Amino acid sequence: MSAAFLAGVVAGYGVAVPVGAIAILIAGLAARTSPRVGAAAALGVATADGLYAAVAVTGGSALAGVIAPVATPMRWIAAAVLIGLAVHTTITAIRHHRDPARAATTGTALTTPIRAYGGILALTLLNPMTIVYFGALVLAGQASGDLPPGAAAAFVLGAFLASASWQLLIAAGGSVVGRVLTSRRGRLLTALASAALVAALAAHTIVS
């Protein structure tokens, strides 16, 4: 069981460490809102990774083949969501910069822990490469599709904890940046930079 747990930890870090659009979203949310919102977003990613790890140990290799034909439409959906978030972030940042009082009274898309958790969870689940990644682990023999229940649970737990620890580290870094950039101009520049990066990653998602 310990071997399955360690395999899950390795798998979790393998899928979590590469910095992409989701990591930038988490850091940006933590910087612009609060540590709680950043942590909730981080746990949303970890939950998705844990779910996909569970799918992997219960037949991920077969599902990876099913996902492959629809990977392109899913990529387009993910890119559209990212572009929408970038536009929304930009508009909200400009409005709040012009009217600081609005920032205290306007509840936007991902500015509460529950919304951040649900939104980032849904966006992460749209990434077909995550299930393909965990399915590939099954095919490579790093995890087994017929693991006993205890070992399968240990694998999923290891993947979840590894992903959660990395995403929470990203959120903590974003929170530090947020405490430094407390001025109106600093918050505006942070939001615009985050939106630009997310838009660029959305474009990369489309053409890749």
The secondary structure of residue 17, as a DSSP letter, is: S
pLDDT for the residue numbered 194: 62
CA distance 205 to 90: 20
CA distance 10 to 208: 26
Per-residue pLDDT tens, the chain, 208 aa: give them. 677 888 788 878 877 776 566 777 888 888 888 889 999 999 999 999 898 888 777 765 565 566 667 666 766 776 776 677 678 768 877 776 777 655 444 445 677 899 999 989 988 887 666 666 665 555 554 444 456 778 888 988 998 999 999 999 989 988 776 666 545 676 677 667 767 766 775 676 567 5
The secondary structure of residue 58, as a DSSP letter, is: T
- The full set of domain ranges for the chain reads 2-207
Closest CA relative to residue 93, chosen from 201, 185, 19, 1: 185
- Two structure tokens written together for 196: 């630009």
Alpha-carbon dihedral 127, 118, 181, 24, rounded to 10 degrees = 0
pLDDT for the residue numbered 121: 92
Q: Supply the pTM of this predicted model.
A: 0.65
CB contact at 8 A, 56 and 138: yes
CB contact at 8 A, 52 and 134: yes
The secondary structure of residue 111, as a DSSP letter, is: -
